[in-house]
Amino acid sequence: MKRLIFAANWKMHLGPEAARGYMETFLARVPLLDDREAWFFPAAVALHAVAEAARGRGDLAVGAQNVHWEEKGAFTGEVSAPMILDAGATAALVGHSERRHVFGETDAETGRKVRSLLAHGLTPVLCVGEKLEQREAGVTLSVVGRHLGVLEDLDARALAKVVIAYEPVWAIGTGKTATPADAVEVHAFIRDFMGREGADPGQTRILYGGSVKPDNIADLVGESEIDGVLVGGASLDPVTWGTMVQTPLD
């Protein structure tokens, strides 16, 4: 059975000391999870601190927010897959909308990152999603399909290791949230794409991200097409996040 993923993207918040305090509070409130996992994506400087705090808990995982596709070299400010692995990461976000739209990262670069992570035994969490004007123009599935295209030449074994996060850009940090029906439509499209590429669509884990909060998380994870959530701002408080991670399921 697939376990739900509750993923926290801290973005550029919480350094090592703050991260240790956060994890102490979180762990005191959240006992071992049975049917779900809590994943943390801290800033690179806090990766090791969070990984150390999560050590021994098989229901917890730690990942990086970004990664470079080369193993080493003259790439000032970047971190590589071997580096984040050494720091305790087991996954990394790739293609996040902020990387695409703020830093100008391309699908080609995202694809190279996916392959680097897979080559080092790490889980890529591929973020896909449309802007507001694209949704209003009715091209949501076309945009998502283009983002998914970076996976097209991977074999079934590699595809099985990829997690997809659907994050409508217009819903990130805006307070607007796609309705469960909106999310389900896109998740079903993603699942169909993965099946056509050779993955087991029923085993592909697809998360929803975009203004997920305590008051809407139950409706989202209650949908069978939604295998978890990728949460930004609401995950920055360990008490709130601990409550969200333990959301009861019907």
The rounded distance, in Å, linking the Cα atoms of 146 and 107 is: 8
Q: Which of 98, 105, 167, 197 is catalytic?
A: 167
- Cα 238 from chain centroid (whole Å): 18
Beta bridge partners of 228: 5
Residue 134: exposure state from Cβ atoms within 10 A (0-12, 13-18, ≥19)? middle
The angle at the Cα of 169, spanning 128 to 137, to the nearest 5 degrees, equals: 95
Q: Would residue 24 show up in a list of annotated catalytic residues for this protein?
A: no
Q: Would residue 167 show up in a list of annotated catalytic residues for this protein?
A: yes
User: What are the tokens at 17?
Assistant: 């000391």
Count CB atoms within 10 A of the CB of residue 211.
20
Q: Which of 37, 48, 68, 96 is catalytic?
A: 96
On whether the CB atoms of residues 150 and 110 are closer than 8 A, the answer is yes
Catalytic residue positions, numbered? 96, 167
